[in-house]
Amino acid sequence: MHGQCGLFFRTYAGEAQLFPGRFLKISMLLFFAALCLAPWAMNKYLVSILCLINISVIGAVSLNLLTGSCGQISLGHGAFFGVGAYSAAYLANLGLPFLLVLPGAGAITALTGMVFGLPSLRLKGIYLAIATLAAQLILEYVFLHWDAVTGGSGGMALDPPSIFGFAFDSDLKMFYLTLAVAALCVLCVRNVMRTCLGRAFVAIRDYHLSAEIVGVDLFAYKLRAFGLSSFLAGVGGALWGSYTMYITPEQFGIGLSVSYLAMIIIGGLGSVIGGVFGAVFITILPELLNFIAQHAGAAFTDLSGALLAMKEGVFGLVLVLFLIFEPEGLANRWRLVKSYWKLYPFAH
Amino acid sequence: MDYYLQLLVSGLVIGSIYSLVALGFVIIYKATKVVNFAQGELVMVGAYICFSLTVQAKLPFLAAFFLTLAFSFILGIAIERLILRPMIGEPIISVVMVTIGLSSVLKSLVQLFWGTQIQVFPPVLPQEPVMIAGLPVAPVYLAAFALSIILFLIFSAFFKYSRLGIAMRATAFDQQAAASMGIGIKNIFALSWCIAAMVSSIGGIILGNINGINAQLGHLGLKVFPAVILGGLDSLLGAALGGLIIGVLENVCDGAAKEFLGLGGFKDVAAFLFLVVILMIKPYGLFGAREIERV
């Protein structure tokens, strides 16, 4: 195993590498290969969880770009996700091919996100959070009442996506599609963070006045952050709609926004890998509770019902405990574990 | 015209409950600069405790009322001590999320103990409507309105004249200066959560007497945001007026949308559309301190 301890970059290109070091490249490749092979060793239920994780990764990474990296708190991400799902459904029902539907849904969501990002011109911090909360509730109302486009409370049905006649009509096929899109999104965000765009985002998050002084056009970059983040959210929403094949307004309520925020907080604000960790954690948590409830239910029938009722409470409790005891998130824990092995047997 | 007058009256009643909840919100924000997303859940918990004490433990209403206040007081201390105190100095988003997490916990505890069905309070006040200016108004509406005005006056006097209230204002104004003058900041923080929990539970009890209670009561907390933003996040008078204005506004808009546009359920969104407009024009609200950093 070969890993560098400290910074040894001699060129700018070397510093800006996506995967510095051969060890990281090989391990990422092996990890990706294992991920591709994993579904063959799993049953249908586990594969469906993997699909959900892939979709959540897109949402979490996109929200982390906006909130974690650019510092613009958004309580409306769930609704943006919904805009993506509804526009995908609408475009697909118009007869567009899936390869156009996916970016189309992203583009429509990006526009919506930028409109609701406009208040960021004047607001920051808690005021922006409340403005995006308003966006969430207004969009939810639109989903429910714009019958002609969204089907109202009845919802909308979608066909499984197909690319050049190849239909992704099983969990296994959807897994590869969502994995491919999620990997693309993660790479895209990771790359954005290496460019001047990403650096401008971080500058705005750290201190808006300094950012403005070094020449960052605050409004333009904030709008870009909203646009890019909602584009990815729209793509995630489109995949979610195609995967569940039926969308209703309740799916995109404030609960979804909160769980995406929970993902990036538990994973680690402002880090791409943190978004991935958080998405995995929050998606698996309810399934884990189900599992425990089922197995505990065999022994104590009362307990399983109580556990199911407590699902939301456990989610809240996990969130609170993470914020109190691990405010830097899982990404920081991962970094500590890595540096422990790198420095072993020395403590520093 | 009668239709709109009726809407106005019921808007004022709902608005006075918003005012109470907003009062709790503002008290927390004023003293600790924490925006509490669990305000609606505090309302719900208060309502359910009072319901339990009156219906299940068969206590007289007044005894139940004061026991609920005592419970809320302890709940406030517990929340501040266990959850909010470790968050001092953390970024805004963490503090917001911790209160959101708290709201999930409270909501699911209520569902665990009381289920999700609507529960109805036994009538405390007489049912026959009183005629005011030719309009029939239920006594419970009048009581709600009167109670929220009384509470507002009590709190205004408390902040203006009592030592504790002045200490709370001093803490809000400058924590370091207050601490160096010998004010126990931690106690002030805990006290503000206690007061907020108590005021919210009063709101919950009133609401329970009007509509009955169910697990959706927590949504009321969301309605507080337009009210306090309109009034200004740190102004008591703003909270009181903002609540009334939002209550009337959403009721009248809802009625108008139903009559002219045929839109249902506009009530839920009218206040938030208005909120976006306020935020764009006057982010510090009607009476809020204008210390917002412009971006």
Nearest CB partner across the interface for B276, out of A121, A134, A320: A134
d(C-alpha A100, C-alpha A172), whole Å: 22
Q: Which residue has the higher pLDDT, A251 or A7?
A: A251
Cβ neighbours of B275 in A, within 8 Å:
130-131, 134
Q: Give the per-residue pLDDT at A297.
A: 65
Domain A43-343 annotated CATH 1.10.3470: yes
**How does pLDDT run across B6-58, given as a tens digit for each residue?**
888 888 888 888 888 898 898 888 888 888 999 999 999 999 999 889 888 88
CB contact under 8 A, B295 and A126: no
Residue type, A26: I
Find all residues with CB under 8 Å of B255, minimum gap 6, and list them: B3, B4, B7
The pLDDT value given to residue A42: 83
Please determine, for residue A184, whether its predicted confidence score (pLDDT) is greater than 80: yes
- For residue A170, with 0-12 CB atoms within 10 Å meaning exposed, 13-18 middle and 19 or more buried, which class applies? exposed
Mutate which of B29, B100, B263, B278 to disrupt the A interface (most A C-beta within 10 Å)?
Answer: B100
3-class SS at A139? helix
Interface with A, mutate which of B28, B102, B295 (most A CBs under 10 A): B295
Does A2 score more than 60 pLDDT?
Answer: no
Q: What is the pLDDT of residue A233?
A: 95
**Residues B165-189, mean pLDDT to the nearest whole number:** 86
Q: A222-239: b or e for each residue (b if 16 or more CB lie within 10 Å)?
A: bbbbbbbbbbbbbbbbbb
Residue A220 is predicted with a pLDDT of 92
- Residue A1, pLDDT > 50, answer no
Q: So what's the pLDDT on residue A335?
A: 87
Q: How many other C-beta atoms are found inside a 10 Å radius of the C-beta of residue B272?
A: 25
From the list B265, B269, B279, the residue facing A119 with the nearest CB is B279
Kindly list the residues from chain A whose CB atom is less than 8 angstroms away from the CB atom of residue B224.
none
Which two structure tokens, joined as six digits, stand for B77? 């201390």
Ordered DSSP codes for A30-96: HHHHHHHHGGGGS-HHHHHHHHHHHHHHHHHHHHIIIIIIT----S-HHHHHHHHHHHHHHHHHTT-
Q: What is the pLDDT of residue A5?
A: 62
**Which residue in chain B has the smallest CA separation from A71?**
B93
How much is the average pLDDT of B259-271?
79
Query: Are the C-beta atoms of A18 and A192 separated by less than 8 Å?
Result: no
Contact at 8 Å (CB) between B244 and B15?
A: yes
Smallest Cα–Cα separation from A254: which of B37, B271, B28, B283?
A: B37
Candidate CATH numbers 2.30.30, 3.20.170, 3.90.320, 1.10.3470; the one for domain B1-117+133-281: 1.10.3470
Q: How much is the pLDDT for A308? A: 67
Residues of B in contact with A315 (CB under 8 A): 101, 104
Whether A179 has a pLDDT exceeding 90, the answer reads yes
DSSP one-letter code for B119: B
Residue B186 has a pLDDT of 87
**Nearest CA to CA, how far is A81 from chain B (Å)?**
19
Of residues A228 and B280, more confidence is placed in A228
Once rounded to an integer, what is the mean pLDDT over residues A115-137? 87
Q: Residue B135: pLDDT above 80? A: no
Please report the pLDDT score of residue A208 as a whole number: 87
Give the span between the Cα atoms of B158 and B30, in whole angstroms.
14
User: At residue A318, does pLDDT exceed 70?
Assistant: yes
Instruction: Indicate the helix (H) or strand (E) that contains B223.
Output: helix B220-231
Percentage of chain A with pLDDT > 70?
94
Report long-range pairs for A96-105 (Cβ below 8 Å, ≥24 apart). A97/A162, A97/A163, A98/A161, A98/A162, A98/A163, A98/A242, A99/A163, A101/A161, A101/A238, A102/A181, A102/A235, A102/A238, A102/A239, A103/A235, A105/A234, A105/A235, A105/A237, A105/A238
CA distances for A307 relative to A35, A286, A295, A296, A301, angstroms? 31, 10, 11, 9, 10
pLDDT over 70 for what percent of chain B? 97
ipTM value > 0.90: no
Contacts (Cβ under 8 Å, ≥6 apart) of B184? none
Q: Please tell me the predicted confidence (pLDDT) of residue B295.
A: 47
For an interface test with A, which of B93, B266, B275, B281 has the most A Cβ atoms less than 10 Å from its Cβ? B93
Q: Which residues of B touch A318 (CB under 8 A)?
A: 101
What is the structure's pLDDT at A189? 93
Q: Give me the pLDDT at residue B262, please.
A: 73
pLDDT band at A204 (very low <50, low <70, confident <90, very high): very high
Rounded distance between C-alpha atoms, residue B76 and residue B194, angstroms: 4
B113 contacts on A by Cβ (under 8 Å): none
**Is it the case that residue A311 has pLDDT exceeding 70?**
yes
Global pTM exceeds 0.95: no
Least confident of A280-284, B98-102, B105-109, B277-281: B277-281
CA distance A285 to chain B (A): 15
| B93/A265 touch (CB, cutoff 8 Å), yes or no | yes
- The helix/strand count (H/E) of chain B reads as 11, 2
Give the start-to-end residue ranges of the domains of chain A: 43-343
- Summary mean pLDDT of chain A: 87
Domain spans of chain B? 1-117+133-281
Query: Which candidate from A120, A137, A320 shows the least CB-CB separation from B272?
Result: A137
At residue A6 the predicted structure's pLDDT band, cuts being 50, 70 and 90, is: low
Q: Which tokens is B22 given?
A: 């907003």
Mean pLDDT for A303-311 is 69
Q: What are phi and psi of A321, to 5 degrees?
A: -65, -40
Q: Hey, are the CB atoms on B87 and A324 less than 8 Å from each other?
A: yes
Residues 6+ apart with CB under 8 A from A28: A19
Checking if the pLDDT of B83 tops 80, the result is yes
Yes or no, beta carbons of B97 and A309 under 8 Å apart: no
Nearest to B105 among A126, A309, A316 (CB): A316
Q: Is the pLDDT of residue B173 over 90?
A: no
Question: What's the pLDDT band for A7 if we cut at 50, 70, 90?
Answer: low
Place B115 in a pLDDT band, splitting at 50, 70 and 90. Answer: confident
Give the mean pLDDT of A2-14.
Answer: 70
